[in-house]
Chain A
Amino acid sequence: MKARSFRYLVGEGFKGAWANRLMSLASVGVLVACMVIIGLALLISENVSRAIGKLEEQNVAMVYMKDYSWALYGDEVQRLTEGGDKNGITPDMYVIHDEKEARELCDKIAKLDNVKSVEYISGEEGLESVKADMIEGQEQFFDFLDEEFGNPLPASAKVTMNDMARFNKTVEEIKAIDGVDSIKAQDDLAESITAVKRGVMIAGIWIIGILLIISLVVVSNTIRITMYNRKLEISIMKAVGATDAFVRIPFVVEGILIGVLSAVIAEGLLYFCYRVATETIAQTLGTTDIVRYSDMMFYLLGVFVVIGILAGAIGSFIMIGKYLRREGSEFSAI
């Protein structure tokens, strides 16, 4: 097709949308509604993801290292140091001797596939942390233990994970590493987080899928009406030797135009609605930890434009294609 023909047809598409403006406006209205709901679904999903991300950060597994030195105190220590216990095992065989060994164990954990981060906590830091959580007076007990027998707490590692769905599996992998004594983790929370994430994702996919279909049907119907309104023009086009592409392009342009216009309006409307909603939430709940619209603005505009263009182009392409196949070569009777 020649460039001038294409320019002419694009112009005809614009004229068509204007000539059919009431119907185009109705389609823009429905498309805007669909896009705003899709945008809200994406914003809600983003906010839920952020909240879940925070929960995930809190849902750590505490890995305690094999360090039995705290239990081998007093006479026992003296006795075992000299000749070992009844099995001949001396305390130095159990203990992770120093920070270097402990950090090496941390590195081994960090190398696991699903591990996001590993934070080394020495026995001393662990003890300080426990003492800080005690009510006044209780920490003296730990001071006594520490002074008399040494720090009772082993070195530990604070492990966070990437995928909470694989939490339990990763815990098992950590347990299998030599030098790991025990793991404390809230695996029920991990399961809840995974369930919520999956639920939000499935709901999002359904909402977006259904609305995409609605968008497609709406644009198709508008184009169908435009097409029947312009049967006369199509019949003349066919009579004077227009190709199917020539007949089709103005309708596809019209569909895309409706889609893009809807995208721009939806972006503005969603910005306004989201701003009002977040300000109300911030005032009512006192939280400021909400996704800002400006962070998502271009992403949402991109999504809307893509939806608009696809719905417009595919909807009109299908509709005019159907018409051309059925009546395309006829023009005598309109």
Chain B
Amino acid sequence: MTENQNIMPQGAENEKPVIEFKGVSKTYPSGTHALDDVNIRINQGEFAFVVGSSGAGKSTFMKLIMREEKANTGVITVNGFNLTKMRRKSIPMLRRTMGIVFQDFRLIPKMNVFDNVAFAMHVVGADKRTIRKEVSKALSKVGLGEKARSMPNELSGGEQQRVGLARALVNSPDLIIADEPTGNVDPNMSYEIVSLLTEINKKGTTVLMVTHDHNLVRDFKHRVIMLDSGRIVADNIGGVEQ
């Protein structure tokens, strides 16, 4: 892999970017330089792994996309929103265009599977009939149609993560952000989850997934963005170095 700060996949200039970083740097008030002059573009329909060691800047990279943090310099565009100029009250609108999958599943223990997924639809004000229809559809997509009435503690780690994935999918987002979704599941289930994400991606949803699992990166031939010390040090498309 070669160090490259202005990486763009070949022929990607004409495609519609879902995520675009232009000269983005982020330094925390404590003085930690998390990202340094990052330029990257992820187009609609792409699947990209984000890899790197601890402290490389992966979390900050994701937080900037989700507008949990604000860049000090540079311009970030996500799903057509300019995050640099975005006001706080517009953040919910940005997040409704993305589905987020957490490493620790983030399921509400007192709610059953159906309600956990429906929760994401209540937030956007969907009506009951739409909720019933879409939740069932999302659960079927992740293979949990039969477990709608189960409580989270009755499910395996892999199943819980699939519920998390159904929740991320239920509002039909343009972009799925998955922060180490396989971190708390066994290797077989990890493959299953990435396979599911790949299926979703094939239907046109852009997927950005942070992972430490090299086997997954090797076996699923997707774009790989590698971060080190706050800089993008490599960007491979389908295992091919750009």
Point out residues on A near B: beta carbons under 8 Å: 1-2, 4-5, 8, 19, 232-233, 235-244, 246, 328-332
Contact = CB atoms under 8 A, between A and B. Distances in A.
A8 B122 contact: yes
B176 to A, nearest CB: 12
A233 B124 CA distance: 15
16 contacts: A5-B122, A5-B125, A233-B119, A236-B167, A237-B119, A238-B95, A239-B95, A240-B99, A241-B123, A241-B171, A242-B92, A329-B67, A329-B88, A332-B68, A332-B102, A332-B179
A235 B107 CA distance: 11
Contacts of B59: 332
Nearest to B68: A330
A8 B106 CA distance: 21
A4 B171 CA distance: 17
A39 to B, nearest CB: 37
A2 B106 contact: no
Contacts of A240: 95-96, 99-100, 119-120, 123-124, 167, 171
Contacts of A239: 66, 95, 100, 102, 106
Contacts of B102: 239, 332
Contact of A1 (B67, B125, B167): B125
A236 B108 contact: yes
Interface in B106-127: 106, 108, 110, 119-120, 122-125, 127
A331 to B, nearest CB: 7
A79 to B, nearest CB: 99
B89 interface: yes
The number of chain B residues touching the other chain, given as a range, is 20 to 34
Contact of A236 (B93, B106, B179): B106
Contacts of A4: 125, 127-128
Interface string B147-161: 000000000000000
B218 interface: no
B91 interface: yes
Contacts of B94: 241
Contacts of A328: 88
A21 B62 CA distance: 38
B132 interface: no
B167 to A, nearest CB: 7
A331 B106 CA distance: 10
A307 to B, nearest CB: 32
B63 interface: yes
Interface in B75-98: 88-89, 91-96
B100 A329 contact: no
B183 to A, nearest CB: 13
Contacts of A2: 125
